[in-house]
Amino acid sequence: MTRKLVVSRRTALGAIAAGLATPALPRPALAQTFPDRPVRFVVPYTAGGGTDVLAREIARRMQPTFPQPIVIENRAGANTAVGAQFVANSRPDGYTLYFAGGSSLVVPPLVWKNLPYKLEDFAPVGLIVKQPYGLGANLDLGGTVRELIDRMKAKPDEFSFGHTGTGGIGHLLGERLMAATGTKMISVPYRGFQQTVIDIMGGRLSMTFEAVNNIVPFHRDRKVRILAITSDRRAPVIPDVPTFAEAGFPAMTTQSWLGLFAPAGTPAPIVAQLNRTLSAVVDSADFHRYAEGQVQFAESMTPDAFGRFIAEDREAWRRVVEPLNLQVQ
């Protein structure tokens, strides 16, 4: 069955942020002894992907100042729902944490029917990176976004964009571009990015929106051209690629992000302790350089600030999703 998307406008940002950022008070003994056994980061993707690699890098950098081992556990499946539900249902004691971002916790609850978890099932620990999406296009489609849009207007319905799932960020960015430019494209879902980029190189697909760090190798090899990125600043590793705002399309400005979460109800002192260790890593100059090399922007936040940031991001995506009247099973 399918249903039309219904999102209540009465949900206040302040209430969301407060609900996300205020874990329950602890039992004193629990807070004083944490951690006394290994802590696991649950990653909702298979090993070797970008999120998994970053999770392992963060765990490695936290380990010297963390008194117990940090173990990465990959629980992929169902568009991240397997991992998210596992953490949401875990004991709120700080030993099972979720390493994910808006593509798992913000967007899916807005578009999917009967999702087995909700954003409020998680307590924010801290932001780690923001990362832009890029518009990767076939080399024959022009060198600028403006050239591409002019061609799309001249030949409606002859252009296509690939994505890894209806209702995902890649799909929504394609819809967002069409709404911002008055153009039309054929939406083509794929099971993964690799086949998407193969079809772009082969001329069977026009373009895709994807995390920039996934497209950069193909851009450097001149197999796919990144026409613009969605962040509010250029990426140092591809300084020749403009932002969408610079290209004349400020409505496309947005960023994905990744952070660390605990189950809702995790004691506040435990969340604060995790945040201090995490933020020390994220704020380091060495990690900032590492993130830049991955086309990411390192940035830490307190749990309260992270909760407000997530609430604002949820509202921004609601404004994108609601007019689309999506029907997602």
Query: What are the pLDDT digits (tens) for 159-178?
Result: 999 998 888 899 999 999 99
Here the tokens at position 73 are: 């556990």
Where does CATH 3.40.190.10 sit in the chain? 133-252
Can you give the pLDDT at residue 329?
A: 64
pLDDT higher than threshold 60 for residue 316: yes
More confident residue, 232 or 191: 232
pLDDT digits (tens, 9 = 90+) for 214-271: 899 999 999 999 999 999 999 999 999 999 999 999 999 988 999 999 999 999 999 9
Q: 133-252 has which fold?
A: D-Maltodextrin-Binding Protein; domain 2 (3.40.190)
Give residues with Cβ within 8 angstroms of 84, minimum separation 6. 44, 98, 100, 104, 105, 116, 117, 121
d(CA 109, CA 32): 35
**According to CATH, what is the number of the domain 13-131+257-324?**
3.40.190.150
**Most confidently modeled range among 45-49, 156-160, 203-207, 320-324:** 203-207
Here the tokens at position 247 are: 């290209």
Residues 109 and 315: beta-carbon distance below 8 Å: no
Where does CATH 3.40.190.150 sit in the chain? 13-131+257-324
pLDDT digits (tens, 9 = 90+) for 2-41: 334 334 444 444 544 555 645 544 444 556 789 999 999 9
Q: Lowest mean pLDDT: which of 13-27, 55-69, 83-97, 198-212?
A: 13-27
Which H or E run includes 219?
A: helix 212-220
Which H or E run includes 84?
A: helix 81-88
Where residue 77 falls (left for φ over 0; alpha for ψ -120 to 50; beta otherwise) is left
pLDDT higher than threshold 90 for residue 314: yes
242 prior amide bond cis, ω within 30: no
Residues 112 and 317: beta-carbon distance below 8 Å: no
d(CA 273, CA 125): 9
Where residue 240 falls (left for φ over 0; alpha for ψ -120 to 50; beta otherwise) is alpha
pLDDT digits (tens, 9 = 90+) for 51-76: 999 999 999 999 999 999 999 999 99
Q: Summarize the confidence of residues 169-190 as an average pLDDT.
A: 93
Share of the chain above pLDDT 70, in %: 90
Amino acid (1-letter code) at residue 27: R
d(CA 108, CA 170): 12
Can you give the pLDDT at residue 71?
A: 98
Mean of pLDDT over the chain: 89
